[in-house]
Amino acid sequence: MKIVLLHSDFIEFEPREEAIEEAEKVVKEKKRVEEALVVFTTVEKGDSLELVEKAADNIIDVMNRVKAERVVIYPWAHLSSKLAPPDIALDLLKRLEEELKRREIEVVRAPFGWYKAFTISVKGHPLAELSRSITLEEAKEKPVKKGEKKHIIVTPDGLELDPEKCDLSQFNPEFRVLVEKEALKKELKGGEPIILEYLQRFGFEWEPYSDFGHMRMGPYASLIFDLAAEYSRIVAHSLGIPVFEVKGTAFFNLKVKPVREHAELYGDRLYVVRTDKGDMVLRYAACHQQFSLIKDWTISYKDLPFGAFEIADSYRYEQSGEAELCFRLRRFYMPDLHVFVKDEEEAKKWVFIIHDKIMNEMAKLGRNYELLVNLSSPQQYERYRDFIVELARKIGKPLLVAIYPPGINYYWTINIEYHILDRLNRPREVGTVQIDIGNAKRFGIKYMDKDGSEKYPVILHTAIIGSLERYIYALFDTALLKKKPMLPTWITPVQVRVIPVSKDYMKYAEKIADEISLRGFRVDIDDTDRPLGRKIVDAEREWVPYIIVVGEREAKENTITVRFRETGEQKALKLNELIARLEEETQGYPKRPYGILRFLSKRPGFLKYS
């Protein structure tokens, strides 16, 4: 906040023309104020209520020294090039006026957002012309101790345990690690993250020409990503309610009040880009776009509940040193689903439905989640306590609960994080669901209730399988926990590799590959002129779940010999038996028969693992 203080015999001003769309509504009339300290004031970007009291202190100090009789607050946008958004600037000017009046100072405030004609007569003494820059550091001369999150453990029996005092050995190892990291702030042992080697092997890499935390994906990685994206869509549409898919931009104007307010509530990891229209925040989920669209919809209570879904390219300004392939990124993709319901009670019911989906999706991978339940205040914890106990009973084990201190606004009331423990024994958040009771009103989203009244819906935020990158991280982490690493068949780039023992059996190999491909599966042929053992080793390096070897016996008997990666066994089968197995393993998952080259000899060097 910048101010220039002029001790004046008088000032006359008259609003002539609106300078901005957000100009204050006033009557155009000339006003004259005698014997005043005129305070030309510019509110800057980043200014907050914390500065108002300090600005008032400065004004009163000068007022007392020059013995002025009253104060005129005069909005003046020319003292800085970093102007605050108009609604914030006007609000802070009004708060400054109120603060001075509270201290029994006579105050006149000139209209905000107008071109004004003015005449001023400044007294000619040394203190008549002064300037001040009010900064956040000055406003914080007296340190304010912020409250800290309080952690408790809630058991299925409804007991509340202090993590620092209770015996953690009574809990399963995964939950114990979560408590030690989140509540007790213990350093994790860590270790060498070998997952990075395998992610890179399949084509997930950092983009060296970009910012920190931005990935690029080669052909295999891109195929895995697209399949995960399509699966996230299938999961979203499996909830049994209408789910409307939308698309939009990643840039949102911080001058728009609901956009800015939501950004301020979100936190400090915002990616901001300056454009010729002002500062734009890059979205950190699909919220802005979906809410901007849905506020224009005509919604009846009969339409609720419904969902809105987008696989949103999202941006969070994570610390560069914490960026991690497929896990902590500055640019990532969120399969963001918002479920709109009538009220908070209905929201709780839907949290349980979504919770079951989230738990089931991780169980499909053979993994289990530990839950961290965040409450935005102690009051919200009391409101949701029975709900939290019911959630603990539902999963049959304790939850870690984090209660945020009062006085901090969040757009959610309850936020449930779903953590797996990775190969290095680190809690890794993947799934999430939140209850939001504020953004419908903030963005103007309404529905017509059965009595004809307009109401604001409650919004659930969820990414059932997590961000696409984190879901892929979970897939690879799970693969590396197995005796022989492998991805689920549906998302493995090469599902079947056919290896003829010699070129004499190439036609039979092609016939087998054609039939597999026609059924929607990804199959290739190792037609290279190399030893059979080397071909099998390369297939193993690509985690191919089914390796078919064909030679004279198979061609004569119209059979195939299959090596099963999961068990290491080798069997002679009819082709339809293998196809039936593939169908069973991929049921409910997306199919994409293309994305790989049929013949290994035709592959460019960067796709060869020899």
- CA separation (Å) from 457 to 243, 261, 262, 438, 454? 16, 18, 17, 9, 10
Residues 313 and 378 both lie in one domain: yes
Q: How far apart are CA 437 and CA 411, in angstroms?
A: 7
* pLDDT of 609 strictly over 50: no
- CA separation (Å) from 88 to 93, 94, 100, 269? 9, 10, 18, 21
pLDDT computed for residue 607 by the predictor: 61
**Domain-embedded: residue 541:** yes
pLDDT computed for residue 127 by the predictor: 67
Into how many domains does the chain fold?
Answer: 3
pLDDT computed for residue 47 by the predictor: 83
- pLDDT higher at 97 or 53: 97
* pLDDT of 608 strictly over 70: no
**Domain-embedded: residue 38:** yes
pLDDT computed for residue 189 by the predictor: 79
Domain that holds residue 27: 2-139
Domain end, chosen from 94, 109, 139, is at: 139
pLDDT computed for residue 260 by the predictor: 85
**Domain-embedded: residue 213:** yes
Residues 547 and 574 both lie in one domain: yes
**Domain-embedded: residue 566:** yes
- pLDDT higher at 139 or 209: 209
* Per-residue pLDDT reduced to its tens digit, 255-293: 888 988 888 777 668 888 888 888 889 999 999 999 999
Residues 553 and 581 both lie in one domain: yes
Residues 179 and 293 both lie in one domain: yes
* Per-residue pLDDT reduced to its tens digit, 336-358: 999 999 999 999 999 999 999 99
**Domain-embedded: residue 256:** no
Domain end, chosen from 457, 480, 503, is at: 480
Residues 310 and 339 both lie in one domain: yes
pLDDT computed for residue 70 by the predictor: 94
Residues 455 and 562 both lie in one domain: no
**Of the candidate ranges 104-108, 228-232, 470-474, the one whose mean pLDDT is the lowest:** 104-108
* pLDDT of 123 strictly over 90: no
- CA separation (Å) from 348 to 163, 490, 504? 27, 33, 64
Cα three-residue angle 342-311-391, rounded to 5 degrees: 45
Residues 476 and 518 both lie in one domain: no
* Per-residue pLDDT reduced to its tens digit, 375-433: 999 999 999 999 999 999 999 999 999 999 987 777 899 999 999 999 999 999 999 99
**How does the average pLDDT of the chain come out, rounded?**
92
Q: What is the mean pLDDT of residues 481-489?
A: 95
Q: How far apart are CA 276 and CA 12, in angstroms?
A: 35
pLDDT computed for residue 267 by the predictor: 66
Q: What is the mean pLDDT of residues 79-95?
A: 88
Percent of the chain with pLDDT over 90: 77
Residues 79 and 186 both lie in one domain: no
Residues 300 and 355 both lie in one domain: yes
Q: How far apart are CA 299 and CA 290, in angstroms?
A: 14
Give the predicted TM-score (pTM) of the model.
Answer: 0.81
pLDDT computed for residue 136 by the predictor: 52
**pLDDT confidence band for 192 (50 / 70 / 90):** confident
CATH number at residue 594: 3.40.50.800
The token pair at 204 is 């997930």
Query: What is the bridge-based pairing of β-strands 496-500 and 523-525?
Result: parallel
Residues 32 and 124 both lie in one domain: yes
- pLDDT higher at 127 or 96: 96
* pLDDT of 207 strictly over 70: yes
CATH number at residue 315: 3.30.930.10
- CA separation (Å) from 314 to 62, 265, 286, 288, 329? 48, 17, 8, 11, 10
**Domain-embedded: residue 277:** no
Percent of the chain with pLDDT over 70: 96
**Domain-embedded: residue 470:** yes
**Domain-embedded: residue 50:** yes
**pLDDT confidence band for 183 (50 / 70 / 90):** very high
Domain end, chosen from 107, 139, 171, is at: 139
pLDDT computed for residue 321 by the predictor: 83
* pLDDT of 244 strictly over 80: yes
pLDDT computed for residue 145 by the predictor: 40
195-202 long-range Cβ contacts below 8 angstroms, 24+ apart: 195/325, 195/422, 195/423, 195/473, 195/476, 195/477, 195/480, 196/325, 198/476, 198/479, 198/480, 198/485, 199/325, 199/326, 199/473, 199/476, 200/325, 201/541, 201/609, 202/476, 202/493
The token pair at 183 is 């509540």
Residues 423 and 508 both lie in one domain: no
Q: What is the mean pLDDT of residues 488-498?
A: 97
Instruction: List the beta strands (DSSP E) in 148-191.
Output: 150-154, 160-161
- CA separation (Å) from 286 to 283, 336, 389? 7, 6, 31
pLDDT computed for residue 288 by the predictor: 93
Q: What is the mean pLDDT of residues 106-130?
A: 87
**pLDDT confidence band for 6 (50 / 70 / 90):** very high
Residues 315 and 425 both lie in one domain: yes
**pLDDT confidence band for 133 (50 / 70 / 90):** confident
* Per-residue pLDDT reduced to its tens digit, 141-154: 444 344 688 999 99
Q: How far apart are CA 276 and CA 189, in angstroms?
A: 48
